[in-house]
Amino acid sequence: MMIDYHMHLERGPFDENWWLKFWEEEKKKNIQEIGITEHGHRFKEFRPVYDHIPITAPWCDSNLEEYREFTTFLKEKYKIKVGVEMDYFPEKEKEIKELLEEYNFFDYVLGSVHFIDHGFGFDIDPNDPRWTENDMEEIFEDYFDKVEKMIKSNLYDIIAHLDLVKLWGGRNPKNISSIYERISKVIISSQMSLELNTAGWRKPVKELYPSPEFLKIISSYNIPLTFGADAHTPEDAGRDIEKAYQIAKDLGFKKISIFEKRKKILIDLR
């Protein structure tokens, strides 16, 4: 059973015709279960999580009731799951917890880190001067410190694009292997599932999230997976999911997680 649990409709309306462009691509690629996961920063109700990051204000263009109504309509006609991708900020754990409890119609919640110290959105601009002013090791350490805290927070169901910080390519810090080992141990002590995200193949790094080296370390543990193409446009829906499945099988992963009302169901990776 192939799944794609990471899809964003944000470049178009909450409209069935726009959705069908994604659905048709997924069906062409033999994806059996699809999840829509709009970014939390889109929703006015989640603004308390993002209000300290001014750059996110123009992205806040929708409300959760609109999202709920539209996805409820879709669920009546198509086999889909509904999620949200919520950024993690250590100082906002209370707000994240309370809001996810209040708006509890999601099947699963993706946890991600896009901002590190002082609101640095590291994946927005490869020419941001903070990339050159800071040592690469410092940026990676800051990022994975946030990822570790995110995993330990118990607020999320799935770790999205685990090593997103590498997206622009270039060198990794010298201590990257020790970072991978540390984070792998944190994952196995949690209840979270790990996403294999194919969008990295479409970025300058040209590599799956997590990296082959990271996956080899993680594969020695019994960690269940989900898969996501992270599509923001229809042509990327389901893209390279089959390729990611084959990599997971070759590395010896055994289980996939599917979700319903934030309850995890494990199935065999076949």
In the prediction, which pLDDT does 39 show? 98
In the prediction, which pLDDT does 270 show? 82
Enter the pTM of the model: 0.96
From the first residue on, what is the mean pLDDT of each consecutive set of 10 residues in the chain (270 residues)? 97 97 98 98 98 96 97 95 98 98 97 92 90 84 96 98 94 87 93 97 97 92 94 98 97 96 95
Contact, 62 vs 42, CB < 8 A?
yes
Where in the sequence is the domain holding 63, given as residue range(s)? 3-268
Distances (CA, A) of 195 to 61, 111, 184: 27, 10, 13
Contact, 43 vs 95, CB < 8 A?
no
In the prediction, which pLDDT does 170 show? 83
Q: What total of structural domains would you count in the chain?
A: 1
Q: At 49, which CATH number?
A: 3.20.20.140
pLDDT tens string 27-51: 999 999 999 999 999 999 999 999 9
